[in-house]
A and B are shown apart, each in its own frame.
Chain A
């Protein structure tokens, strides 16, 4: 972490004050990230699931006056014996052995006050580090409403460190944090500590500390039992799972429609207005036909992306995802993987990049690599614009399963299943050959169900929406401009040539023979080349190509596609996008996580080869 050397009145300050570095640590699901968000306001993912916070995050918190501290949010740990990679991260940071991060000046230990008998055992190894520590008993509101209690003063006396009851979700009790961080930091002096290597002794110590502090365990959470009765019911459980999935897909198609129509209209009206204002000429061509059609074609899909992330956030934060992982474990076991791989794979439905980073929670190295290799097969949100554009252009909307599922949503669902199937088969192949290993044990904590908070879901939607728009404003904009230039030269009589004779068209026609057997022409070929940067770029590219041919809005894009692709070619294109590895960011993160180019190279070759062969077969069968 960078050492900030800006103090108040830095100009005349003789000693350069470094901000205090404070680490937030605690068991999974104790609410560390919620507290981190509260204190820093920095956007960060909070999930009601063990091990989602795999990277440490750093932020700044404003204290009273001009005081500022640097906060680092660490992955959840059950103990200080690191057994998985994310536990190692926490361990190394607290020992001051993390490269690029100094040893923290103080620790905020976050424990779930409704589960103190267990969570307190983490206090033993943390207090023995000898760093100033504030112990935060989180979810105090829940403890109180379920009839539990604890004497904070007694506990503080026993542990020799300050203790405070807080509710990070509601922002209650956070003054204690500010007081601690701005006051003089004392080293903890616990009355006694157990032998840290002796787990039963640590547990006994924790129970004794709790009972000495007059801890009354709260009544069991009635709702968790009742909901598990439904979600883990042998028949109703899987049925609910299927219903939830259908609902998600149907809503992505129908629910997002009005907003998408709105954005579409806005893009087309503003494009027309800007065009009118600029007048004829190359500036107008670049701004309206190039950028506006290209970037606009992608931005239209923002509502769908937001809806997808809304569902993912609700499922994760409510605690349902852990149950889904439980239900899926047997299926995963058949592929040679374990239920833990299910978590990264599910988040790969949003984006493969965080999913690949989330594989750090998997203890077995071979399982981890197998999970990394199959993660990009899961249908990430960047495929969504491509899928919905082609589906809307080629599949008529009909009722498929009564009013519940339309034919378009069914087609989309089919593509998601196709990706899952490819991942499953690939995993099975890998796990029975080069990555064969002993079955790894599945140990997964089921967090209690919690009502997702508006704040946390809202922050995530904001973060995701901004990331999507940022990509539209950078990668897609850049590709669009380059494409416009390539499509405008060589000039003929001082005007842009017909796109077929432009440089872009020449390049497209050069690769046409390779992709022709798949049912794609040179325009799609240009899109395939540009989408190597990121999948959704093809939509922007087609928007620009057709925009320069005179079509501007998304409905025009659909019509133009219909004239350029046969049905067989359209389905082949969908299949191609389901399998192909068109994402620079993913390749980069795979290289980083596996420590070399070997795995990303294998992955790229395998996925591209599979995409080509399957698209070829599809096109031949359908035409």
Chain B
């Protein structure tokens, strides 16, 4: 499995989950967080290669719900901004 794909994707920079707007979709690339938290996030489905879509949020946009692997997980911006993703090509 590819853990790191297209570090500099077609001229664009790498995004984080926090950069995505509601209904945005992306594929997880890597998590830059302490091993403990990263492990918990992976158990919840934020595994490199997995598809994530962006759901609703609390008023003000933080924390926000992310749909991953059949579950809905709420994360604060400080956490979601450490999950790097590759945007799914819009068609």
Q: What residues make up the interface of A, taking CB atoms closer than 8 Å to B?
A: 78-79, 81, 83, 114-115, 117-118, 121, 199-200, 203-204, 217, 224, 228-229, 232-235, 237-238, 322, 326-327, 329-330, 333, 339, 439, 441-446, 448
Contact, CB under 8 Å: B43 / A442: no
With A78-B43, A232-B65, A443-B41 already in contact, 7 other A-B pairs whose C-beta atoms are closer than 8 Å: A79-B39, A115-B70, A203-B50, A232-B56, A234-B60, A445-B73, A446-B72
| Alpha-carbon gap, A224 to B45, bound state (A) | 19
Q: A199-B47, A339-B63 are in contact. Are A441 and B37 (CB under 8 A)?
A: yes
Q: Which of A204, A327, A441, A445 contacts B71 (CB 8 A)?
A: A445
Is B14's CB within 8 Å of the partner chain A?
Answer: no
Leading 9 A-B pairs by shortest Cβ distance: A232-B56, A446-B72, A199-B42, A115-B70, A78-B43, A444-B74, A118-B69, A442-B76, A200-B47
**Residue in chain B with minimal CB distance to A331:** B58
In whole angstroms, what is the CA distance A224 to B59 when docked?
A: 18
B77 to chain A, nearest CB (A): 10
Task: Tell me if B40 counts as interface (CB < 8 A to partner A).
Answer: yes
Least CB separation from B48: chain A residue: A200
Closest to B3 in A: A200
Contacts of B76 in A (CB 8 A): 329, 333, 441-442
- A contact patch SS: helix
CA distance A83 to B73 in the complex (A): 17
Within 8 A of A (CB), among B64-83: 65, 69-76, 78-79
B23 to chain A, nearest CB (A): 11
Residues in chain B near residue A439, CB distance under 8 A: 78
Which residues of B28-55 have CB atoms within 8 Å of chain A's CB atoms?
A: 33, 36-37, 39-45, 47-50, 55
The answer, among B37, B39, B55, B72, for a CB contact under 8 Å with A199, is B39
Q: Are A204 and B74 in contact (CB under 8 A)?
A: no
Roughly how many angstroms separate A329 CA and B60 CA in the complex, as a whole number? 11
Contact of B42 among A203, A217, A228, A235 (CB under 8 A): A203
List of A residues within 8 angstroms of B50 by Cβ: 203
List chain B residues, Cβ under 8 A from A330.
Answer: 58-60, 62-63
Pick 23 A–B contacts, CB within 8 A, sort by A.
Answer: A78-B43, A83-B40, A118-B70, A200-B1, A203-B47, A203-B50, A217-B70, A228-B56, A232-B56, A232-B65, A326-B57, A326-B63, A326-B74, A327-B59, A329-B74, A330-B60, A339-B74, A441-B76, A442-B76, A444-B74, A445-B71, A445-B73, A446-B72
Contact of B79 among A83, A118, A237, A443 (CB under 8 A): A443
Contact A443–B40 (Cβ < 8 Å)? yes
Given contacts A200-B1, A232-B57, A443-B75, contact A78 B70 (CB under 8 A): no
Q: How far is the CA of A81 from the CA of B48 in the complex (A)?
A: 20
CB distance from B76 to the nearest CB of A (A): 5
Write out the residue numbers on chain A whose beta carbons fall within 8 Å of the beta carbon of B37: 441, 443
Per the bound structure, the CA–CA distance linking A400 and B63 in Å amounts to 34
Q: Are A81 and B73 in contact (CB under 8 A)?
A: no
Partner of A327, one of B1, B39, B58, B79: B58
Alpha-carbon separation in the docked complex, A118 to B47 (Å): 11
Shortest Cβ distance from A116 into B: residue: B70
Given the contacts A204-B1, A326-B63, A228 and B55 also touching, CB distance less than 8 Å: yes
Nearest opposing residue in chain B for A237, CB measure: B59
Residue from the list B55, B58, B71 in contact with A118, Cβ < 8 A: B71
Q: Residues of B contacting A445 with CB < 8 Å?
A: 44, 71-74
Do the beta carbons of B78 and A441 come within 8 Å of each other?
yes
B42 smallest CB distance to A (angstroms): 4
A503–B74 CA distance with the chains assembled, in angstroms: 59
Docked CA distance A445–B66 (Å): 9
Contact in complex: A326, B58 (CB < 8 Å)? yes
Alpha-carbon distance between A439 and B62 when the two chains are bound, in angstroms: 15
Known: A443-B74, A444-B74. A78 touches B44 (CB 8 A): yes
Nearest opposing residue in chain B for A114, CB measure = B70
Interchain CB contact under 8 A, B60 and A442: no
Q: Bound state CA distance, A118 and B51, in angstroms? A: 13
Q: Which of B1, B42, B55: most chain A Cβ within 10 A?
A: B42
The chain B residue sitting closest to A442, CB to CB, is B76
In the assembled complex, which residues on chain A have CB atoms less than 8 Å from the CB atom of B70? 114-115, 117-118, 217
Known: A83-B36, A439-B78, A442-B63. A199 touches B43 (CB 8 A): yes
